[in-house]
């Protein structure tokens, strides 16, 4: 790597990459449901998940010179089959995630038309499907937005609205206006013996998913042993502060039973604007949020399937899914993805309320992603013994013991989240505990079951000759 590339990403740029990957104003209503106790759970989630996931991803990515990412790491540790399972979980999780972010866009758009439409399932599904298919067609044509435009969308649609809602909430407190939550010690530090309190982790863990995506840039940073930990520390602080204060901003102004998971951000803004006589700001902030959301979604329409395409090229999927159009886009995978998202959107019809549907999809997406993280943490421990230390690599302090402690903390966070994901909040209408569990478990099985078929296909297909196993580039040789 030349000096120009080494200096290409500054600590500030690395911080923006990390925070931009996971910091989202869309997640605020779900975490606001838990009032002042979200302060405790955000801190706990950082200790048992966010920091371990970032550290493990940093070490794994810094050992690679040419290839990186979840599929590559897990392939090195456990082989192609487990690597395919992991990349499938990472991809199929986005199938469930798309309807939630698109429902946020639809719910936000109602404030330009009629806010009551945010509770209309037919309207939401229509907007979600129309938006996603339009974005799919755009990607099929090979249209890519520049990095400058992506940054513009992030600033306009995420950073400014986040700072604005926090600022309005601080002013609300200074002016002595009524608060919908209290900040006593018993409120901030909840009774952990109550299962309901642990449900907060599902919403909060969702806000932390994806930090491993930014660590692939570590090889482009000068002196990663110092630069990345510094950027990581700053990023964790920024994420925790903005997500915590942003969630509290909604919680202090909206009663718990009135927070809508789809349009809660706009509910809070409308409340603030009405009290501060800033009515003209509502359409402005609406357009900003729509722009930011669309800018974030369009790249995710094609980015997650790149890892799946790599697995398809290894023979795990039929040749149909490896075909690209004249612009080099995996068209068949994109179309298949759009069809699956369309089917999953019907979950909005399986729950008695929009909030119930949103929570179901959020919890399902989180469960699938957490299963991938379980494999990733296990792979990190295995690779610590399998390969020698690269002299320029970022390593978790403490050697093997440090890796064990970090990975076990992450696995602990995953285990807790996987358990509480089966329990819906009592404040959300999901049609009863039994109904929720049946739909939730059916969703998990439906998302994971295709793996069995693809394993069977791979082992019996004659379309792909047996590949000679070789050491992929990027990792040092195994110890003798």
- Cβ-based burial of 375 (10 A; exposed 0-12, middle 13-18, buried ≥19): buried
d(CA 474, CA 467): 19
What's the pLDDT tens digit per position in 369-405?
999 999 999 999 999 988 766 665 678 888 899 999 9
pLDDT value of residue 151: 62
Q: What angle do CA 77, 78, 83 make, to 5 degrees?
A: 100
The mean predicted confidence, pLDDT, of the chain is 79
> Taking a C-beta distance cutoff of 8 angstroms, is the pair 480, 387 a contact?
no
Taking CA atoms, 145 is separated from 124, 129, 150, 327, 417, in Å, by 26, 21, 7, 15, 35
Q: pLDDT at residue 37 above 50?
A: yes
Residue 149's contacts (CB-CB under 8 Å, 6 or more residues apart) are 295
- Structure tokens, 55: 């550290």
- Considering the entire predicted model, what is its pTM? 0.79
Mean pLDDT, rounded, for 243-247: 91
Mean pLDDT, rounded, for 268-273: 91
> Taking a C-beta distance cutoff of 8 angstroms, is the pair 87, 380 a contact?
no
Q: pLDDT at residue 45 above 50?
A: yes
Residue 351's contacts (CB-CB under 8 Å, 6 or more residues apart) are 357, 360, 429, 430, 431, 439
Q: Which residue has the higher pLDDT, 222 or 31?
A: 31
Could you give the domains of the chain?
3-460 (1.20.1740.10)
d(CA 466, CA 480): 27
d(CA 142, CA 414): 37
Sign of CA dihedral 248, 298, 368, 208: negative
Q: pLDDT at residue 480 above 80?
A: no
What's the pLDDT tens digit per position in 69-119?
788 889 889 988 899 999 899 888 888 778 777 877 888 888 888 877 777
How confident is residue 431, by pLDDT bands cut at 50, 70 and 90? confident
End-to-end CA, the chain: 29
How confident is residue 144, by pLDDT bands cut at 50, 70 and 90? low
How confident is residue 214, by pLDDT bands cut at 50, 70 and 90? low
Nearest by Cα to 95 from 128, 68, 121: 128
């Amino acid at each position: 790597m030349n000096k120009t590339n080494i200096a290409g990403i500054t600590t500030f740029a690395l911080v923006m990459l990390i925070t931009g990957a996971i910091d989202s104003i869309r997640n605020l209503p779900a975490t606001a449901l838990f009032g002042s106790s979200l302060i405790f759970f955000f801190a706990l989630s950082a200790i048992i998940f966010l920091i371990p996931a970032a550290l493990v991803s940093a070490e794994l990515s810094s050992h690679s010179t040419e290839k990186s990412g979840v599929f590559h790491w897990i392939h090195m540790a456990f082989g192609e089959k487990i690597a395919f399972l992991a990349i499938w979980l990472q991809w199929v999780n986005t199938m469930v995630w798309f309807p939630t972010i698109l429902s946020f866009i639809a719910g936000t758009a109602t404030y330009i038309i009629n806010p009551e439409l945010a509770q209309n399932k037919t309207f939401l599904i229509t907007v979600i499907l129309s938006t996603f298919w339009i974005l799919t067609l755009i990607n099929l044509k090979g249209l890519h937005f520049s990095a400058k435009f992506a940054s513009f969308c992030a600033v306009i649609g995420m950073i400014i609205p986040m700072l604005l809602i926090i600022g309005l909430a601080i002013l609300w407190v200074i002016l002595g206006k009524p608060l919908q939550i209290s900040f006593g010690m018993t409120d901030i530090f909840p009774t952990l013996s109550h299962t309901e309190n642990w449900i907060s982790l599902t919403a909060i863990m969702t806000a932390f998913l994806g930090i491993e995506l930014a660590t692939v840039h570590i090889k482009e940073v000068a002196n990663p042993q110092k630069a990345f930990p510094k950027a990581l520390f700053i990023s964790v602080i920024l994420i925790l502060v903005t997500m915590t204060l942003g969630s509290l901003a909604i919680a202090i102004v909206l009663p718990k039973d009135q927070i809508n998971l789809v349009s809660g951000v706009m509910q809070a803004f409308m409340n603030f604007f009405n009290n501060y006589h800033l009515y003209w700001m509502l359409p402005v902030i609406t357009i900003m949020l729509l722009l930011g959301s669309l800018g974030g979604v369009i790249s995710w329409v094609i980015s997650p399937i790149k890892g799946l395409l790599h697995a398809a090229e290894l023979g795990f999927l039929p040749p149909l899914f490896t075909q690209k159009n004249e612009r080099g886009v995996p068209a068949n995978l994109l179309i298949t993805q759009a069809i699956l998202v369309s089917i999953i959107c019907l979950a909005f019809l399986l729950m008695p309320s929009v909030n119930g549907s949103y929570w179901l999809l959020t919890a399902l997406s989180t469960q699938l992603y957490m299963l991938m993280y379980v494999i990733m943490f296990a792979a990190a421990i295995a690779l610590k013994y399998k390969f020698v230390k690269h002299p320029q690599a970022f390593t978790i302090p403490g050697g093997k013991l440090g890796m064990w402690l970090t990975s076990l903390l992450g696995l602990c966070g995953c285990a807790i989240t996987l358990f509480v994901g089966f329990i819906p909040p009592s404040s959300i209408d999901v049609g009863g505990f039994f109904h929720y569990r049946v739909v939730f478990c059916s969703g998990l099985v439906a998302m994971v079951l295709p793996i069995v078929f693809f394993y069977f296909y791979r082992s019996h297909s004659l379309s792909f000759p047996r590949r000679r196993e070789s050491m992929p580039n990027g990792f040092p040789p195994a110890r003798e």
